[in-house]
Amino acid sequence: MPSIPRVKKAVIPAAGLGTRFLPATKSMPKEMLPIVDTPTIHFIVEEAIKSGIEDILIITNSNKHSMENYFDINFELEQRLKESGKKELADEVHQIASLANVFYVRQKEPKGLGHAILCAKSFIGDEPFAVLLGDDLVVSETKPALRQLISAYEDKKTTILGVQKVKHEEVYKYGIVDPSKEVLPTDANFKIVDFVEKPKVEDAPSDYAVLGRYILTPDIFEKLERTKPGINGEIQLTDAIRMQMKERSLYACKFTGERYDIGDKFGYIKATIDFALKRADLSYKVRDYLKHVI
Protein backbone atom coordinates (compact mmCIF):
# COMPACT_ATOMS: atom_id res chain seq x y z
CA MET A 1 0.00 0.00 0.00
CA PRO A 2 1.48 3.45 -0.87
CA SER A 3 2.42 5.43 2.23
CA ILE A 4 0.76 8.78 2.86
CA PRO A 5 2.64 11.97 3.77
CA ARG A 6 2.87 12.62 7.49
CA VAL A 7 1.09 15.62 9.04
CA LYS A 8 4.08 17.68 10.24
CA LYS A 9 2.88 21.27 9.89
CA ALA A 10 0.13 23.22 11.61
CA VAL A 11 -1.48 26.58 10.99
CA ILE A 12 -2.93 28.66 13.81
CA PRO A 13 -5.03 31.57 12.54
CA ALA A 14 -4.63 34.41 15.05
CA ALA A 15 -5.39 37.53 13.06
CA GLY A 16 -8.87 38.18 14.47
CA LEU A 17 -9.74 41.54 16.00
CA GLY A 18 -10.92 39.96 19.26
CA THR A 19 -14.02 42.17 19.40
CA ARG A 20 -15.69 39.93 22.00
CA PHE A 21 -12.91 40.81 24.46
CA LEU A 22 -12.74 44.56 23.99
CA PRO A 23 -11.47 46.72 25.62
CA ALA A 24 -8.69 44.26 26.66
CA THR A 25 -7.97 43.43 23.01
CA LYS A 26 -7.60 47.10 22.06
CA SER A 27 -3.89 46.80 22.83
CA MET A 28 -3.25 43.05 23.28
CA PRO A 29 -4.02 40.01 21.13
CA LYS A 30 -6.82 37.83 22.49
CA GLU A 31 -4.48 34.83 22.10
CA MET A 32 -2.35 36.32 24.90
CA LEU A 33 -5.22 36.44 27.42
CA PRO A 34 -4.04 34.14 30.22
CA ILE A 35 -5.78 31.14 31.70
CA VAL A 36 -4.48 31.66 35.25
CA ASP A 37 -0.90 32.57 34.23
CA THR A 38 -0.40 31.04 30.78
CA PRO A 39 -1.52 32.65 27.50
CA THR A 40 -4.13 30.64 25.62
CA ILE A 41 -1.88 30.39 22.54
CA HIS A 42 0.65 28.45 24.68
CA PHE A 43 -1.87 25.65 25.25
CA ILE A 44 -2.73 25.50 21.55
CA VAL A 45 0.96 25.28 20.54
CA GLU A 46 1.52 22.62 23.21
CA GLU A 47 -1.36 20.51 21.86
CA ALA A 48 0.15 20.68 18.36
CA ILE A 49 3.60 19.63 19.60
CA LYS A 50 2.20 16.77 21.69
CA SER A 51 0.36 15.60 18.57
CA GLY A 52 3.62 15.27 16.61
CA ILE A 53 3.61 18.60 14.75
CA GLU A 54 7.09 19.97 14.01
CA ASP A 55 6.53 23.38 12.39
CA ILE A 56 3.82 25.87 13.29
CA LEU A 57 2.73 28.89 11.28
CA ILE A 58 0.79 31.55 13.15
CA ILE A 59 -1.25 33.90 10.98
CA THR A 60 -1.02 37.31 12.63
CA ASN A 61 -1.78 40.97 12.04
CA SER A 62 -0.04 44.20 13.02
CA ASN A 63 -1.35 44.05 16.63
CA LYS A 64 0.30 40.74 17.50
CA HIS A 65 3.93 41.53 18.39
CA SER A 66 3.56 40.31 21.96
CA MET A 67 2.79 36.82 20.65
CA GLU A 68 6.05 36.75 18.68
CA ASN A 69 7.93 37.98 21.75
CA TYR A 70 6.30 35.27 23.86
CA PHE A 71 7.81 32.47 21.76
CA ASP A 72 11.21 34.20 21.65
CA ILE A 73 14.01 34.42 24.22
CA ASN A 74 13.84 37.39 26.61
CA PHE A 75 17.47 37.62 27.65
CA GLU A 76 17.08 40.63 29.94
CA LEU A 77 14.15 39.11 31.88
CA GLU A 78 15.97 35.78 32.30
CA GLN A 79 19.09 37.56 33.51
CA ARG A 80 17.13 39.57 36.08
CA LEU A 81 15.30 36.51 37.35
CA LYS A 82 18.60 34.66 37.79
CA GLU A 83 20.17 37.61 39.60
CA SER A 84 17.28 37.72 42.03
CA GLY A 85 17.61 34.00 42.81
CA LYS A 86 14.65 32.83 40.69
CA LYS A 87 16.52 30.34 38.52
CA GLU A 88 13.58 27.94 38.18
CA LEU A 89 11.34 30.69 36.86
CA ALA A 90 14.11 31.83 34.50
CA ASP A 91 14.38 28.27 33.15
CA GLU A 92 10.60 28.04 32.72
CA VAL A 93 10.52 31.29 30.75
CA HIS A 94 13.50 30.14 28.64
CA GLN A 95 11.84 26.80 27.84
CA ILE A 96 8.94 28.50 26.03
CA ALA A 97 11.26 29.66 23.24
CA SER A 98 12.24 26.07 22.51
CA LEU A 99 8.69 24.64 22.55
CA ALA A 100 8.41 24.57 18.77
CA ASN A 101 9.57 26.01 15.46
CA VAL A 102 7.14 28.89 15.22
CA PHE A 103 6.84 30.97 12.05
CA TYR A 104 4.64 33.97 11.33
CA VAL A 105 2.91 35.49 8.36
CA ARG A 106 0.59 38.48 8.33
CA GLN A 107 -2.93 38.48 7.01
CA LYS A 108 -3.01 41.98 5.62
CA GLU A 109 -6.79 42.39 5.51
CA PRO A 110 -9.43 40.77 7.78
CA LYS A 111 -11.13 38.75 5.06
CA GLY A 112 -12.12 35.70 7.09
CA LEU A 113 -10.85 32.29 8.20
CA GLY A 114 -10.56 30.90 4.66
CA HIS A 115 -8.46 33.86 3.57
CA ALA A 116 -6.25 33.46 6.67
CA ILE A 117 -5.58 29.80 5.77
CA LEU A 118 -4.76 30.82 2.20
CA CYS A 119 -1.93 32.97 3.63
CA ALA A 120 -0.26 29.65 4.62
CA LYS A 121 -0.09 28.32 1.05
CA SER A 122 3.67 28.66 0.41
CA PHE A 123 4.57 27.53 3.93
CA ILE A 124 2.56 24.33 3.55
CA GLY A 125 3.41 23.40 -0.03
CA ASP A 126 2.04 20.04 -1.14
CA GLU A 127 1.45 18.31 2.22
CA PRO A 128 -1.54 17.58 4.44
CA PHE A 129 -1.58 19.95 7.41
CA ALA A 130 -3.40 20.70 10.64
CA VAL A 131 -5.41 23.78 11.58
CA LEU A 132 -6.06 24.69 15.21
CA LEU A 133 -8.34 27.59 16.10
CA GLY A 134 -7.26 29.47 19.19
CA ASP A 135 -10.80 30.00 20.53
CA ASP A 136 -11.24 26.28 21.09
CA LEU A 137 -9.18 24.98 23.98
CA VAL A 138 -9.37 21.21 24.42
CA VAL A 139 -8.13 19.40 27.50
CA SER A 140 -7.70 15.70 27.02
CA GLU A 141 -6.49 13.33 29.71
CA THR A 142 -5.61 10.75 27.06
CA LYS A 143 -4.63 11.60 23.45
CA PRO A 144 -4.55 15.30 22.49
CA ALA A 145 -7.52 16.22 20.27
CA LEU A 146 -5.30 16.95 17.26
CA ARG A 147 -3.51 13.60 17.61
CA GLN A 148 -6.95 11.92 17.42
CA LEU A 149 -7.61 13.75 14.12
CA ILE A 150 -4.19 12.77 12.77
CA SER A 151 -4.97 9.12 13.53
CA ALA A 152 -8.26 9.50 11.63
CA TYR A 153 -6.34 11.04 8.70
CA GLU A 154 -3.88 8.13 8.68
CA ASP A 155 -6.85 5.79 8.46
CA LYS A 156 -9.06 7.69 5.95
CA LYS A 157 -6.33 9.57 4.00
CA THR A 158 -8.53 12.60 3.40
CA THR A 159 -9.70 15.85 5.00
CA ILE A 160 -10.82 15.34 8.61
CA LEU A 161 -13.01 17.73 10.60
CA GLY A 162 -12.86 17.56 14.40
CA VAL A 163 -16.38 17.54 15.82
CA GLN A 164 -18.29 17.29 19.07
CA LYS A 165 -22.01 17.39 19.75
CA VAL A 166 -23.25 20.81 20.88
CA LYS A 167 -26.61 21.86 22.36
CA HIS A 168 -29.18 22.04 19.58
CA GLU A 169 -29.99 25.68 20.36
CA GLU A 170 -26.32 26.61 19.83
CA VAL A 171 -25.77 25.17 16.35
CA TYR A 172 -26.09 28.64 14.76
CA LYS A 173 -22.64 29.54 16.17
CA TYR A 174 -20.74 26.81 14.31
CA GLY A 175 -19.95 24.91 11.14
CA ILE A 176 -22.33 21.91 11.33
CA VAL A 177 -21.76 18.60 9.53
CA ASP A 178 -24.35 16.40 7.87
CA PRO A 179 -23.51 12.73 8.58
CA SER A 180 -24.17 10.23 5.82
CA LYS A 181 -26.18 8.06 8.24
CA GLU A 182 -27.15 7.92 11.88
CA VAL A 183 -24.04 8.39 14.02
CA LEU A 184 -23.72 5.61 16.57
CA PRO A 185 -22.23 6.36 20.00
CA THR A 186 -19.42 3.92 19.14
CA ASP A 187 -18.44 5.66 15.85
CA ALA A 188 -15.14 7.47 16.38
CA ASN A 189 -15.15 8.72 12.78
CA PHE A 190 -18.01 9.08 10.33
CA LYS A 191 -18.42 10.10 6.71
CA ILE A 192 -20.12 13.40 6.03
CA VAL A 193 -22.22 14.40 3.04
CA ASP A 194 -22.51 18.13 3.71
CA PHE A 195 -21.16 20.91 5.86
CA VAL A 196 -22.93 24.21 6.55
CA GLU A 197 -21.58 27.33 8.18
CA LYS A 198 -23.70 28.73 11.02
CA PRO A 199 -27.12 27.33 10.00
CA LYS A 200 -30.38 28.50 11.51
CA VAL A 201 -31.35 26.20 14.40
CA GLU A 202 -34.30 24.80 12.39
CA ASP A 203 -32.12 24.10 9.31
CA ALA A 204 -29.16 22.39 11.03
CA PRO A 205 -28.47 18.93 9.55
CA SER A 206 -27.20 17.60 12.94
CA ASP A 207 -25.84 18.77 16.30
CA TYR A 208 -22.24 17.86 15.38
CA ALA A 209 -20.21 21.08 15.27
CA VAL A 210 -16.70 21.52 13.91
CA LEU A 211 -14.78 22.77 16.93
CA GLY A 212 -11.56 24.32 15.79
CA ARG A 213 -9.55 21.27 14.67
CA TYR A 214 -8.99 20.24 11.05
CA ILE A 215 -6.64 18.10 8.98
CA LEU A 216 -6.69 19.51 5.46
CA THR A 217 -5.24 18.16 2.26
CA PRO A 218 -3.28 20.70 0.15
CA ASP A 219 -5.87 20.86 -2.65
CA ILE A 220 -7.79 23.12 -0.23
CA PHE A 221 -5.65 26.07 -1.42
CA GLU A 222 -6.89 25.87 -4.99
CA LYS A 223 -10.46 25.74 -3.61
CA LEU A 224 -9.84 28.72 -1.32
CA GLU A 225 -8.55 30.71 -4.29
CA ARG A 226 -11.89 30.11 -5.99
CA THR A 227 -14.06 30.73 -2.91
CA LYS A 228 -16.27 33.82 -3.10
CA PRO A 229 -17.09 35.81 0.05
CA GLY A 230 -19.85 34.03 1.99
CA ILE A 231 -21.45 34.66 5.41
CA ASN A 232 -20.41 38.09 6.80
CA GLY A 233 -18.78 38.92 3.45
CA GLU A 234 -15.80 36.76 4.49
CA ILE A 235 -13.98 33.98 2.63
CA GLN A 236 -15.17 30.96 4.60
CA LEU A 237 -13.06 27.82 5.06
CA THR A 238 -16.35 25.90 5.23
CA ASP A 239 -17.24 26.90 1.64
CA ALA A 240 -13.85 25.70 0.33
CA ILE A 241 -14.24 22.39 2.21
CA ARG A 242 -17.68 21.96 0.59
CA MET A 243 -15.98 22.28 -2.82
CA GLN A 244 -13.54 19.53 -1.79
CA MET A 245 -16.49 17.34 -0.93
CA LYS A 246 -17.51 17.23 -4.59
CA GLU A 247 -14.19 15.52 -5.42
CA ARG A 248 -13.40 13.34 -2.40
CA SER A 249 -14.92 11.74 0.69
CA LEU A 250 -14.70 13.75 3.87
CA TYR A 251 -14.78 12.43 7.43
CA ALA A 252 -15.60 13.83 10.83
CA CYS A 253 -13.59 12.72 13.87
CA LYS A 254 -15.55 12.77 17.12
CA PHE A 255 -12.64 13.82 19.30
CA THR A 256 -12.76 13.31 23.05
CA GLY A 257 -11.72 15.88 25.63
CA GLU A 258 -13.22 18.82 27.49
CA ARG A 259 -13.59 21.72 25.09
CA TYR A 260 -13.77 25.34 26.23
CA ASP A 261 -14.97 28.15 23.97
CA ILE A 262 -12.52 30.72 25.26
CA GLY A 263 -13.59 33.23 22.61
CA ASP A 264 -16.72 33.57 24.73
CA LYS A 265 -16.58 35.34 28.10
CA PHE A 266 -18.39 32.60 30.01
CA GLY A 267 -16.30 29.88 28.35
CA TYR A 268 -13.17 31.80 29.30
CA ILE A 269 -14.26 32.08 32.94
CA LYS A 270 -15.10 28.35 33.05
CA ALA A 271 -11.64 27.48 31.72
CA THR A 272 -9.97 29.76 34.25
CA ILE A 273 -11.86 28.20 37.18
CA ASP A 274 -11.31 24.60 35.99
CA PHE A 275 -7.59 25.17 35.37
CA ALA A 276 -7.18 26.82 38.77
CA LEU A 277 -9.00 23.93 40.46
CA LYS A 278 -6.49 21.51 38.94
CA ARG A 279 -3.45 23.36 40.27
CA ALA A 280 -1.89 22.25 43.50
CA ASP A 281 -0.95 25.84 44.42
CA LEU A 282 -4.49 27.21 43.90
CA SER A 283 -7.04 24.43 44.10
CA TYR A 284 -7.72 24.62 47.84
CA LYS A 285 -8.01 28.42 47.96
CA VAL A 286 -10.23 28.65 44.87
CA ARG A 287 -12.53 25.87 46.07
CA ASP A 288 -12.84 27.54 49.45
CA TYR A 289 -13.53 30.92 47.87
CA LEU A 290 -16.19 29.52 45.52
CA LYS A 291 -17.98 27.90 48.47
CA HIS A 292 -18.19 31.30 50.10
CA VAL A 293 -19.49 33.28 47.13
CA ILE A 294 -22.28 30.92 46.12
H/E run at residue 238: helix 237-245
Smaller CB distance to ligand G1P: residue 30 or 42?
A: 30
List the one residue from 32, 53, 133, 145 that touches ligand G1P (CB under 6 A). 133
Smaller CB distance to ligand G1P: residue 96 or 137?
A: 137
**Per-residue mark of binding to ligand G1P, 147-186 (x: CB under 6 A):** ---------------------------xx-----------
Provide CB contacts within 8 A for 263, sequence distance 6+.
Answer: 20, 21, 30, 134, 135, 136
238 binds ligand G1P (CB under 6 A): yes
Gyration radius of the chain over CA positions: 20
Can you list the alpha helix ranges (DSSP code H) found in 52-179? Answer: 65-70, 75-83, 87-96, 113-118, 121-124, 145-156
List the one residue from 41, 90, 113, 252 that touches ligand G1P (CB under 6 A). 113
Smallest separation, CB 279 to ligand G1P (Å): 26
47 binds ligand G1P (CB under 6 A): no
What are the distances in angstroms from CA 140 to CA 124, 143, 155, 283? 27, 6, 21, 19
- What is the C-alpha to C-alpha distance for residues 138 and 136, in angstroms, rounded to an integer? 6
Smaller CB distance to ligand G1P: residue 44 or 286?
A: 44
- What is the C-alpha to C-alpha distance for residues 149 and 130, in angstroms, rounded to an integer? 9
211 binds ligand G1P (CB under 6 A): yes
252 binds ligand G1P (CB under 6 A): no
Binding residues for ligand G1P, rule: CB under 6 A, are 113, 133, 135-136, 174-175, 197, 209-212, 238
